[in-house]
């Protein structure tokens, strides 16, 4: 269970970084990158 939470946290932080680096990113682009 802890590994899953750690993986989810890493994924969320990657998503936040991705969005901060790409203001105005389209949902389709984000879904493609993280889908």
So where are the chain's domains? 2-34
Q: What is the CA radius of gyration of the chain?
A: 11
Contact 33, 11 (CB under 8 A): no
Query: What is the structure's pLDDT at 1?
Result: 62
> What whole-number distance in Å separates Cα of residue 33 and Cα of residue 35?
6
Q: Greater confidence, 3 or 12?
A: 12
| Whole-structure pTM value | 0.71
How many angstroms separate the Cα of 23 from the Cα of each of 7, 16, 34? 24, 11, 16
pLDDT (tens digit per residue) in 8-29: 999 999 999 999 999 999 999 9
Q: H/E/C letters for each residue in 1-35?
A: CHHHHHHHHHHHHHHHHHHHHCCCCCHHHHHHHHC
For residue 34, what pLDDT band results from cuts at 50, 70 and 90?
A: confident
Does position 7 have pLDDT exceeding 90, yes or no? yes
């Amino acid at each position: 269970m802890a590994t899953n939470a750690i993986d989810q946290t890493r994924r969320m932080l990657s998503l936040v970084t991705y969005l901060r680096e790409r203001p105005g990113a389209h949902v389709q682009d984000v879904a493609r990158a993280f889908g």
